A and B are shown apart, each in its own frame.
Chain A
């Protein structure tokens, strides 16, 4: 079955540690996105990529980094520079370079201890 796989589903991290969230899709979608969701707030865009080896900052990119070395993979690194990293992280993909219908992964919940 085609879809988006995010891992891990739950992750605990100590302050000062970097952590990488995995996102893999087998939908042959060109564009991929990372969103952050906090209670009472909408989804906020962290980074997005419309094509391999290229990506753009979203609204809240500070403290995060990404790479797009393969079409099917778009990992997100939450660095120690991110001041408030505890959140629910959602990866999504869409067909084509425009924001067509997004298919979301199941999410990764990061808790910083």
Chain B
């Protein structure tokens, strides 16, 4: 079967670091996407990992371990505007399988 798991909610303080984990089980796995979605808006692309390892892009980094079926999104120097849902999605052959999303609330 296909399954994507990520925590439902997380909270953090402005300026801190937060790590959002995602585990997946899917056949035909090609890579792992992370999207950000503010309430009532469309998701926007953050990162795509195909190979194992860490990819850094400014304050955001994403990690993938294909052997463990595991990924995480690391957000540094948190800002209030980072309060949003973060969606993990496994690229499966010709479509994406999304997790339920992690709602992150950043407090001052």
> Which A residues contact B (CB, under 8 angstroms)?
33, 35, 40-45, 48, 50, 58, 90, 97-99, 101-107
Contacts and interface: CB of A to CB of B under 8 A. Distances in A.
Interface residues of B, number: 25
Contacts of B42: 90, 104-107
B34 to A, nearest CB: 11
Contacts of A105: 42
Interface in B25-59: 30, 33, 35, 40-45, 48
- Tell me if B's interface is mostly helix, strand, loop or mixed: strand
B95 A42 contact: no
Contacts of B92: 99
Given A90-B43, A104-B43, A99 B100 contact: no
A3 B96 CA distance: 20
A105 B44 CA distance: 10
Contacts, number: 56
Contact of A50 (B33, B94, B96, B98): B94
Pairs A-B, 3 closest by C-beta atoms: A104-B42, A42-B98, A43-B98
A42 B87 contact: yes
A43 B45 contact: no
Given A104-B42, A106-B41, A99 B101 contact: no
A90 B87 CA distance: 14
